[in-house]
Amino acid sequence: MRPYLCSIALMTLASPLLAQLKHPPATRASDHVDTYHGARVADPYRWLEDDNSAETEAWVEAQNEVTFAYLRGLPQREPLRQRLTELFNYERYSTPQRKAGRYFVFRNDGLQNQSVLYAQDGLTGAPRVLLDPNTLSADGTVAMTVSEPSPDGTRLLYGLSAAGSDWQEFKVRDVASGADLADHLKWIKFSGGSWTKDGKGFFYSRYPEPKPGEALTAANRDQRLYYHRLGTPQSEDRLIYERPDQPDWGFSGQVTEDGRYLVIGVWMGTDRRNRVHVLDLVSAQAPDLTGMVVPLLDAFDAGYSFVANDGPVFYFRTDQAAPRGRIIAVDLARPGKADWREVVAEGPNAMNAVAVVGNHFVVNYLKDAASSLQLFEMSGRPAGEMALPALGTVGALSGERGDRELFYAFTSFLYPTTIFRYDFDAKGMSAWKSPKVDFNPSRYETRQVFYRSKDGTRVPMFITARKGIALDGSHPTLLYAYGGFNLSQLPSFSATRIAWLEQGGIYAQPNLRGGAEYGEAWHEAGMLTKKQNVFDDFIAAAEYLIAEKYTAPERLAVEGGSNGGLLVGAVMTQRPELFAVALPAVGVMDMLRFHRFTIGWAWVTEYGSADSSAAQFQTLKAYSPLHNLKPGTNYPATLVTTADHDDRVVPAHSFKFAAALQAATTWQRPAYIRIETRAGHGAGKPIAKVIEEEADVMAFALANMALRKPVP
């Protein structure tokens, strides 16, 4: 994610670089046509979906050759890379996990490609390296995806991903010796691990092994839940639950803190609604465990997130009959809705997360897209609000029910992620790990504004800039958003944003519909047939920044990744005159075929499907970026970014969009694609690759903005 823009050396649109744009080789257009509900749709670049073909490989090489030649010619590129290297060089920590008095915490000394996992005995004990992913590959492209200590803190279950892929391999390490056990599990995706209370094994989910050559593109279905006992081969893992009659169902297994039950979350795609099944581990001795799994919440009518249990009484955070969220108690003996007990009622703000620590519910609410942290006794009685250091975001609540301390991360646009510790006995808060970043936050400010979208909806937006800037339209501005999948875009710190703020730039982040900032109603207002609301919200944010003279169209860049890449692709095709620069990253660009690759089918609940009905086809085609490019249009300067190992949003989306854009644009401004190698959708990307890509993206944006005057 790149929510920033940086200015070191400034250029204008009169730059010779723009007068000498080199076009990539023309992409071969085939005569392929598909028919959807009687409508014929051309797909001339269908052949680019085959990432294993020699022709596609040659196309990638030719595109990168032209793109990187252009980027190497930008004078800002090297100063930006140097400044980003300086800014990234600060110590970073995760919230610690505590198991039986032993603490596990990730630390990055600044420029390490991957963070290192440390273990220490006691809060003040000397940390020692337990696992350093940087030693597992020469280029830093092997990342740790899962880290789960056993209940007694003597073993570590960990997951590894190579080259940015969603595929994981699980291994187990002895904490005392630092040596790996023989256990090695493969073909795991979208799964964590949960230990049994005795530490003899863990539950996890996996998919069938894909056919040769299809690991990065084939659809992922038929996930199954297994139990792995330490010291045995994966082939002997015990099948816990499967549903061959429901190939689109996925499963997560979580052992309750008392070790008595396995809570099985049953999900279908990215639908926020889910089912919850339960397995009593004390009586789970029969050969066919699938028959012993008991459906507890099986109506698929809402989202249910397991929080804790008191024996057979289970606590859930849910949006059932409460679009902003509430906490309920469900008794296994009387699971019907009529017997549910409401513990914490729905409030005026969205309930973002809940943990049980120190025998309290710790509830993270969102108030106008910023965190509010409140405590409740297990009875539901309010027990006070925790004071936060600024307007910002709480994340990564860490602790167990019997602990007397809670750890959490706090961050904001100008507040580097700091780990705080709350002492339940002393009722006091203190900073446990505070980073030191080479910039002066007192020179800048974040303000929150509210603007009206096309249909009159009130939308919040954070604007971060130097204090006292003149609102004269002169400021280069980056507008970044996401808008989908019930995911909130909250205040957060990014070292890559600071170089821009130091030069007087503006960073704007609106909270579009489709997210969870105001609960489920806000999400539903930006999905399926209402997806255009998201694009209208983004366009209205741009118009607000222009009308209020923060910036002007010739100095405005838009950026987003994944679903946010779709957002950028949609608005640049709907309003190309509104933006100087478009930066769609790993975007979903072909809305007619997204569901045919890897986990794309899981997004149908959010987007719909062109195959399902003529109405859904028309809705998707109306905003699909690939299908709304118009020949002879002066599109914003565009740098599409993707990666060759992205098996979440396969790179074919970006390949086809870039080819179509290059054929359609008037080439008054550049239209390039940057294809990273040995990288994926973004998670686990080495710091070195992050810095290189960010320098390229920011240099590209600056070179294609009409900057009237140097920024002091």
Which residues have C-beta within 8 Å of that of residue 140, sequence separation ≥ 6?
112, 113, 114, 133, 134, 686, 687, 688, 689
Q: Say if CB 535 and CB 457 are below 8 A apart.
A: no
Q: How far is 400 from 309, CA to CA, in rounded Å? A: 12
Q: How far is 520 from 622, CA to CA, in rounded Å? A: 25
- Distance, CA of 171 to chain centre: 24
Q: What is the 3-state secondary structure (H, E, C) of 638-698?
A: EEEEEECCCCCCCCHHHHHHHHHHHHHECCCCCEEEEEECCCCCCCCCCHHHHHHHHHHHH
Q: Say if CB 307 and CB 256 are below 8 A apart.
A: no
Q: Take residue 354 and report the two structure tokens written for it.
A: 């809940």
Q: Take residue 632 and report the two structure tokens written for it.
A: 């002879």
- Distance, CA of 542 to chain centre: 23
Q: How far is 366 from 378, CA to CA, in rounded Å? A: 21
Nearest to 40 by CA among 551, 695, 675, 592: 592
Active-site residue, from 252, 371, 562, 609: 562
**Integer angstrom CA distances of residue 209 from 100, 220, 430, 431:** 36, 10, 47, 45
Q: How far is 51 from 647, CA to CA, in rounded Å? A: 11
Expressed in angstroms, the distance from the first to the final Cα of the chain is 27
Q: How far is 693 from 700, CA to CA, in rounded Å? A: 11
Residue linked to tokens 């050559």: 213
Residue linked to tokens 């860049």: 557
Q: How many other β-carbons are positioned within 10 Å of the β-carbon of residue 320?
A: 18
Torsion over CA: 368, 369, 370, 376 (sign): positive
Q: How far is 578 from 558, CA to CA, in rounded Å? A: 10
DSSP string, 9-56: S---TT-HHHHTPPPPPPPP----EEEETTEEEE-TTGGGG-TTSHHH
Which residue type sits at 163? A
Q: Say if CB 358 and CB 405 are below 8 A apart.
A: yes
Active site residue 562: yes
CA-derived radius of gyration, the chain:
25
Residues marked as catalytic: 562, 681
